[in-house]
């Protein structure tokens, strides 16, 4: 197999591994609050929103050290260990205990920081400026298949149920734990890249020596990665992209946790309200996959860069927010176990709710594929620190959003996303124009990005 073929193989394995892991984890996130609401009349007294807030809060802090950890143990082993912790978190729901639930939330926060830093490093190592757009699209599309498979199972298993029994819960979470472990094992199939530098190159020699050197050399690499993260954090491009990244964190919280809870709380949906959570996740996944395919795989055919895709993303999200505002009761995110009988500005429609799910996924894929692409392009030599900063900002905003989701009515959550999305789109445009100018200065084709 050629070197280019090996790189493409690695990208596909990376995407498939994440697909299995996040089939389990995202399905878990979508139903966590609903399951916990059914548990809170027992000895368990946890909150799905609080758990996700802890996860993303710890994740954001852990991104300060994740580049150093990846530099020490390498991206492949980092992803394997992280995958084990993801599986442990899901397994907690088989027999829930409040202390185990929140402890696992802390541990998976650390694991997630390492996982996504290693993912960005692996993606960039197996790409160049001509393939980063394509590879970002392949990875994103494969990852988002996770939303379809897990949620399809939930939809079929919970159809017609208004209460989630202990047997239902255990069956679902045992299956999700096994699926997560399968994805973890698949990381072992990723092939290490051969050194392409000349035999006499000093960098090549140093790298070969580094692999068999003492722990002192690894610590030097870890310190260098940490310093690089701090330096990159204050560059103009990274500060501007942080506003866009912040928006993706808020949207991530909304579609992965809050919106499904809203749907499950609407009593006017009848006996389908719980199974509709799974169907909503499927439509989100269809939107994500469609966006990843069109804007990632076909990026080479576009000569206008990333900005039109991001513009489409914000317009699609604004349409979704408008429809959700009219369709969903205002108290749906914080409704009690009995649900809500309130009506917004129209009688709640299942069809409109599913359309909004699709639009949320499509818009999210527009932003994330382009962010992955521009980060891989701008920071090809510093991919681990750059992707760590990306996840730091995204996760801290997701943590904040999960925290206020416990208290804010739906209208205020939508308003926050509208405002942050507006400014995030503008800042992305500024960075993209700068990238285009830099390419033009060195005589490269703009469509290659």
pLDDT beyond 90 at 428:
yes
Q: What is the pLDDT of residue 137?
A: 78
Interval 221-268: pLDDT, tens? 667 766 777 777 788 888 999 999 999 999 998 988 788 888 888 877
CATH 1.20.1250.20 is held by the domain 1-190: yes
The whole-angstrom separation of Cα 182 and Cα 360 is 28
pLDDT beyond 90 at 324:
yes
Q: What is the pLDDT of residue 60?
A: 81
SS (H, E, C) 145-184: HHHHHHHHHHHHHCCCCCCCCHHHHHHHHHHHHHHHHHHH
Interval 331-387: pLDDT, tens? 888 877 677 778 878 888 889 999 999 999 999 988 988 888 888 778 777 777 787
Highest mean pLDDT among 35-44, 95-104, 315-324, 365-374: 315-324
Q: What percent of the chain has pLDDT over 90?
A: 25
Higher pLDDT, 225 or 3: 3
Q: What is the pLDDT of residue 442?
A: 59
Q: What is the pLDDT of residue 200?
A: 47
Q: What is the pLDDT of residue 12?
A: 92
Domain 225-442: which CATH number of 3.40.109.10, 1.20.1250.20, 1.20.140.10, 3.40.630.10: 1.20.1250.20
Dihedral sign of CA atoms 407, 409, 414, 415 in order? negative
Higher pLDDT, 228 or 108: 108
Q: What is the pLDDT of residue 447?
A: 43
Interval 161-199: pLDDT, tens? 666 677 777 888 898 899 999 999 999 998 876 654 444
pLDDT beyond 90 at 126:
no
Listed by start position, the domains of the chain span 1-190, 225-442
Question: Rounded to an integer, what is the distance from CA 140 to the centroid of its chain?
Answer: 9
> What number of other Cβ atoms are within 10 A of residue 91's Cβ?
19
CA atoms within 13 A on the CB side of 355: 14
Q: What is the pLDDT of residue 215?
A: 57
Q: In angstroms, what CA-CA distances link 123 with 10, 92, 186, 352? A: 8, 31, 16, 36
**What does pLDDT average to over the chain?**
81
Higher pLDDT, 143 or 319: 319
Where does 158-258 have alpha helices with state H? 166-186, 202-211, 215-233, 236-253
Q: What is the pLDDT of residue 427?
A: 94
Interval 132-164: pLDDT, tens? 778 877 887 788 788 788 778 777 776 666 666
As beta bridge partners, residue 340 has 266
Interval 207-223: pLDDT, tens? 444 445 555 666 676 67
Do the domains at 1-190 and 225-442 have one common CATH topology? yes
pLDDT beyond 60 at 83:
yes
Q: What is the pLDDT of residue 246?
A: 94
> What number of other Cβ atoms are within 10 A of residue 134's Cβ?
18
The whole-angstrom separation of Cα 272 and Cα 148 is 18
Q: What is the pLDDT of residue 17?
A: 94
Q: What is the pLDDT of residue 398?
A: 86
The pTM for the full model equals: 0.74
């Amino acid at each position: 197999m050629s070197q280019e073929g090996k790189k493409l193989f690695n990208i596909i394995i990376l995407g498939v591994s994440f697909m299995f892991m996040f089939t389990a984890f995202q399905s878990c996130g979508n139903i966590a609050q609903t399951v916990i609401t059914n548990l809170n009349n027992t000895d368990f007294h946890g909150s799905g929103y609080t758990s996700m807030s802890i996860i993303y809060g710890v994740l954001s802090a852990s991104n300060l050290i994740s580049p150093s950890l990846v530099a020490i143990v390498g991206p492949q082993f980092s992803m394997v260990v992280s995958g084990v912790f993801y599986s442990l978190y899901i397994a907690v729901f088989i027999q829930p205990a409040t202390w185990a639930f929140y402890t696992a939330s802390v541990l998976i926060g650390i694991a997630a920081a390492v996982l996504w830093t290693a993912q960005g490093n692996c993606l960039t190592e197996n790409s160049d400026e001509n393939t980063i757009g394509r590879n970002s699209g392949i990875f994103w599309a494969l990852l988002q298949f996770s939303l379809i498979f897990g949620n399809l199972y939930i939809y079929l298993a919970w159809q017609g149920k208004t209460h989630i029994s202990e047997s239902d819960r255990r069956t679902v979470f045992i299956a999700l734990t096994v699926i997560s472990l399968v994805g973890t094992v698949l990381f072992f199939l990723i092939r290490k890249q051969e050194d392409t530098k000349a035999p006499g190159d000093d960098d090549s020699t140093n790298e070969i020596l580094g692999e068999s050197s003492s722990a002192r050399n690894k610590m030097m690499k870890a310190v260098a990665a940490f310093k690089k993260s701090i330096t990159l954090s204050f560059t103009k491009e990274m500060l501007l992209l942080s506003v866009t990244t912040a928006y993706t964190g808020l949207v991530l919280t909304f579609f992965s946790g809050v919106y499904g809870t809203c749907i499950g709380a609407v009593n006017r949906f009848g006996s389908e309200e719980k199974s509709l959570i799974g169907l909503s996740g499927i439509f989100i996944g269809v939107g994500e996959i469609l966006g990843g395919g069109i804007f990632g795989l076909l990026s080479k055919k576009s000569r206008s860069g990333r900005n039109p895709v991001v513009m489409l993303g914000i317009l699609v999200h604004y349409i979704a927010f408008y429809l959700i505002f009219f369709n969903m009761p205002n108290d749906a995110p914080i409704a009690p176990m009995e649900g809500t009988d309130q009506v917004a500005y129209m009688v709640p429609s299942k069809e409109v709710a599913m359309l909004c799910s699709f639009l949320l996924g499509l818009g999210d894929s527009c932003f994330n594929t382009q962010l992955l692409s521009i980060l891989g392009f701008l920071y090809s030599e510093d991919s681990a620190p750059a992707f760590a900063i990306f996840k730091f900002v995204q996760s801290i905003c997701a943590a904040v959003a999960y925290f206020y989701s416990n208290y804010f009515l739906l209208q205020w959550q939508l308003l926050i996303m509208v405002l942050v999305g507006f400014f995030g789109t503008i800042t992305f445009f500024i960075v993209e124009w700068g990238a285009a100018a830099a390419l033009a200065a060195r005589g490269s084709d703009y469509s290659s990005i």
